Amino acid sequence: MTIGVLTSGGDAPGMNAALRAVVRCAVVDGMQVKGIRHGYQGILDEDIIDLDSLSVANILTTGGTMLKTARCLEFLKSEVQDQAADILRKHGIEALVVIGGDGSFRGAAELAQRGINVMGVPATIDNDLGCTDYTIGFDTAINTAMEAIDKVRDTSASHERACVIEVMGRSAGYIALYCGIGNGVEEMLLPELYDGNEDAIAERMLATRAKGKNIYMIVSAEGVGDASGLAGRLKEKTGIDTKAIILGHIQRGGSPTCMDRVYASVMGSRAEALIRDGKRSRVVIYKNGEFGDMDILDSLMVRKALPNDFLMMSRKLIR
Ligand code: ADP
Ligand code: F6P
């Protein structure tokens, strides 16, 4: 049997660990593995390489993706998806492992509807997939962001400044929520909840200062909007020196944490096992403390909310 594997969408630390697990388990089970470079673009370009156990040596500890990744807008077209399914068949690829986020799974679901057996492995720093509590890369990203925010705290405290620190997450607030709690910030702005009331933030900044606490750290998810503009307006409203810091792509890079390496290894090996066991078009998930899998089309219907208990608790801790 021949299987294909690709990484797609924003890269995430741990994608390489998942790829390694897919390849090594497939080799043990007697399969041939073809790596498709640059995500869905690589199918269209037939940018396909043979992979064996040695090809994935020394990648477990590295960030990024050895197979490269891409955002392929052409692949949104139905006729291009037909063409991609034909190319996969032409190369004898009987099943395709897609390591990526929500968009990549939507692409995989299109291929599934065209008769390709796809297996999704959730990998995105955003942790925004409803079907799973965990996505590969999230743990590394929040630890990278947390360390950076700690450093911003030192300088903000020394200058008695306020700051708005923008973290990634697309339209989800998971990274901001975890850093908000983990860094003990004064305020977190989450797209799922933010009401846009900047006057209220300014009042809280002034009240905090009046109490004698001369630091005000705001973690803002990128989905909330422009952090620089917000910092400028808060400075104007309060008279408090307020800096904007945009953490950006450092959150996507770096060596994966142990958790990301281990969970990616488990998820990659599970995707291969599903193929080996004759299952069709599933996604590997981690839900309520257990690894499992579900139908890819069903997985796309599940919405994700922020954990209410975390939100309630964080309100008590911010003082
Ligand atoms: P992620 O997988 O990290 O969410 P994107 O949203 O950028 O990243 O999606 C990655 C790629 O998946 C896109 O560039 C496109 O090729 C494909 N894709 C995204 N959404 C769809 C869709 N609705 N239908 C088909 N393919 C999609
Ligand atoms: O989905 C991962 C992510 O890093 C988001 O948090 C962010 O909105 C986006 O990708 C940035 O994408 P790009 O690297 O294409 O600018």
SS (H, E, C) 13-62: CCHHHHHHHHHHHHHHCCCEEEEECCHHHHHHCCCEEEECHHHHCCCCCC
Within this chain, do residues 47 and 164 fall inside the same structural domain, yes or no?
no
Q: What digits encode the pLDDT tens for the residues 246-285? A: 999 999 999 999 999 999 999 999 999 999 999 999 999 9
Of the candidates 218, 160, 144, 233, the one whose C-alpha atom is nearest the C-alpha of residue 187 is: 218
Mutating to test ligand 1, I would choose from 106, 110, 114, 299 the residue with most ligand atoms within 8 A of its C-beta, which is 106
Cα 182 to Cα 92, 164, 220, 247: the distances in Å are 48, 16, 14, 16
Residue 65 lies in a domain: yes
Q: What is the residue range of 84's domain?
A: 2-137+256-299
Within this chain, do residues 50 and 18 fall inside the same structural domain, yes or no?
yes
User: What single-letter DSSP state applies at residue 300?
Assistant: T
Count of domains forming the chain = 2
User: What single-letter DSSP state applies at residue 165?
Assistant: E
Within this chain, do residues 130 and 260 fall inside the same structural domain, yes or no?
yes
Looking up residue 125, the CATH number of its domain turns out to be 3.40.50.450
Ligand 2 neighbour 8 (Cβ under 6 A):
no
Mean pLDDT of the chain: 97
| Ligand that lies nearest to the alpha carbon of residue 247, given by its number in the listed order | 2
Distance of CA 319 to the CA centre of its chain: 30
pLDDT score of 318 more than 90: no
Residue nearest (by alpha carbon) to ligand 2 atom 1: 10
The two structure tokens encoding residue 191: 């797209």
Q: What digits encode the pLDDT tens for the residues 152-195? A: 999 999 999 999 999 999 999 999 999 999 999 999 999 999 99
pLDDT score of 293 more than 90: yes
pTM for the whole structure: 0.98
Ligand 1 neighbour 124 (Cβ under 6 A):
yes
Looking up residue 199, the CATH number of its domain turns out to be 3.40.50.460
Q: What digits encode the pLDDT tens for the residues 59-110? A: 999 999 999 999 999 999 999 999 999 999 999 999 999 999 999 999 999 9
Ligand 2 neighbour 104 (Cβ under 6 A):
no
Q: What digits encode the pLDDT tens for the residues 105-129? A: 999 999 999 999 999 999 999 999 9
Ligand 1 neighbour 110 (Cβ under 6 A):
yes
Residue 313 lies in a domain: no
> What percentage of the chain exceeds 70 in pLDDT?
100
Ligand 2 neighbour 126 (Cβ under 6 A):
yes
Distance of CA 140 to the CA centre of its chain: 10
Residue nearest (by alpha carbon) to ligand 1 atom 20: 103
Residue nearest (by alpha carbon) to ligand 1 atom 24: 107
Of 236, 252, 268, which closes a domain?
252
Residue 82: active-site member: no
pLDDT score of 294 more than 80: yes
Within this chain, do residues 120 and 149 fall inside the same structural domain, yes or no?
no
**Atom nearest to 12 CA in ligand 1:** 3
Within this chain, do residues 57 and 175 fall inside the same structural domain, yes or no?
no
Within this chain, do residues 153 and 57 fall inside the same structural domain, yes or no?
no
Residue 306 lies in a domain: no
Residue 305 lies in a domain: no
Task: Tell me whether strands 290-295 and 282-287 are parallel, antiparallel or unpaired.
Answer: antiparallel
Within this chain, do residues 229 and 96 fall inside the same structural domain, yes or no?
no
Residue nearest (by alpha carbon) to ligand 2 atom 15: 10
Within this chain, do residues 67 and 36 fall inside the same structural domain, yes or no?
yes
Residue nearest (by alpha carbon) to ligand 2 atom 7: 170
Mutating to test ligand 2, I would choose from 105, 142, 170, 250 the residue with most ligand atoms within 8 A of its C-beta, which is 170
Give the 3-state secondary structure percentages of the chain, helix then strand then coil, rounded to 5.
Answer: 45, 20, 35
What is the distance between the alpha carbons of residues 264 and 97, in angstroms, rounded to a whole number? 13
Of 196, 226, 252, which closes a domain?
252
Within this chain, do residues 177 and 73 fall inside the same structural domain, yes or no?
no
Ligand 2 neighbour 14 (Cβ under 6 A):
no
**Atom nearest to 170 CA in ligand 1:** 4
Within this chain, do residues 119 and 157 fall inside the same structural domain, yes or no?
no
Confidence at residue 177, expressed as pLDDT on a 0 to 100 scale:
98
Confidence at residue 147, expressed as pLDDT on a 0 to 100 scale:
98
Within this chain, do residues 116 and 263 fall inside the same structural domain, yes or no?
yes
Element (DSSP H or E) covering residue 102? helix 102-112
- For 272, what's the count of Cα atoms within 13 Å in the CB-facing half-sphere? 25
The two structure tokens encoding residue 22: 């897919």
Confidence at residue 152, expressed as pLDDT on a 0 to 100 scale:
98
Within this chain, do residues 22 and 116 fall inside the same structural domain, yes or no?
yes
